Structure 1
Amino acid sequence: MNLEIPEFNSKIYLSYKTIGGKNNLDQLVNDAFRLTYKHTYKAEYINERDITTENRVYGLYYDVGGNAASAKQFFVTDSTHHFLRGALYFYAPPNADSLAPVVQFLQADMEHLVGTLKWR
């Protein structure tokens, strides 16, 4: 599922996987890491922040600095059944200075989404 944000000409791409079989947790985490770090050639930095909520949601936020295509990414899991990855993209050239206010605004929304997530 993807969240279109037309007023900011952007989209949060969301990928959900059920853990099990070919979708083992280690592989899903490695894929999330690999997809984020593909941006290193344009990124000035990539900072990781832990995610832990009272709803058994664990993972990492990635803050990707500079003119990378995706400035904000995350993955979350309950470690046994559910895995969700998200990445913010704009339909515009990735100019970090110009996009900074919108990125900060949408970061709060992404953090709210993750902070209120409950697994079923």
Structure 2
Amino acid sequence: MKLLRQSAVLFLLLMLLASCKDEVLPKPKAQLRLEYPTPEYKEINSDCPYIFEISTNSKIRINNKCWANLDYPDLKASVNMTYRPVEGNLKELLIEAEKLTFNHTIKADGISSIPYSNEEKRVYGAVFEVTGNAASPIQFHVTDSTDNFITGAVYFNVQPNYDSIKPAINYLRQDIMRMIESMQWKNK
């Protein structure tokens, strides 16, 4: 028993001496490094009145109303798109799309817009970026101004923390811009 007690004391003494170091320094700040694959694009040509390109890193589902969901499993994000025919109600559709964007002002730090216009393809629209912890950090709409109107919004399957998801937002903005730039209307 005495030998066991002496061994335990000796062990504790060795542990105490081994754990002492000269100086304690704070750990350097780590930088999060997120790397996303270089996007490649493929054309989506369905029975709907539009054609556009999407990233091969996404999966698309289109329903019978021509509404589309682009899922980005690696980013835990989706782009929800709604198609509506223009029936003399373009002004109302534009007001509704912008109203949806500006509903985020409660949580937003700011909202900026990037207008888009391609006269040759008759594609007009805007991309809105909502900074801050809003539910949808990117929203957009495109139209030909006579027959077709599409609105879209990006959603993440995580609690919105703008600083943490900013790299993913930048990546998705690039994909959305490619989608808009490649947009074609079938009924033109």
Q: TM-score, normalised by structure 1?
A: 0.95
Residue 70 of structure 1 aligns to a residue whose secondary structure is coil
Instruction: Tell me, yes or no, if structure 1 residue 90 matches structure 2 residue 156.
Output: yes
1:30 CA drift (Å): 0.6
Question: Which residues in structure 2 correspond to 1:103-118 (within 5 Å)?
Answer: 103-118=169-184
> Where does structure 1 lack aligned partners over 5 or more consecutive residues?
none
Question: Which residues in structure 2 correspond to 1:1-120 (within 5 Å)?
Answer: 1-20=68-87, 24-53=89-118, 54-120=120-186
The CA distance in 2 between the partners of 1:60 and 1:9, in whole Å, is 24
1:95 CA drift (Å): 0.3
Higher relative contact order by CA 8 Å / sep ≥ 6: 1 or 2? 1
> Where does structure 2 lack aligned partners over 5 or more consecutive residues?
1-67
CA RMSD in angstroms comes to: 0.9
The CA distance in 1 between the partners of 2:133 and 2:159, in whole Å, is 8
1:48 CA drift (Å): 1.4
Aligned length: 118
- 2:64 matched residue in structure 1: none
The CA distance in 1 between the partners of 2:171 and 2:114, in whole Å, is 18
1:34 CA drift (Å): 0.7
The CA distance in 2 between the partners of 1:55 and 1:92, in whole Å, is 36
The AA in structure 1 aligned to 2:112 is: N
Residue 185 of structure 2 aligns to a residue whose secondary structure is coil
The AA in structure 2 aligned to 1:77 is: T
Q: TM-score, normalised by structure 2?
A: 0.61
The CA distance in 1 between the partners of 2:110 and 2:76, in whole Å, is 24
Larger Rg: 2
The AA in structure 2 aligned to 1:83 is: F
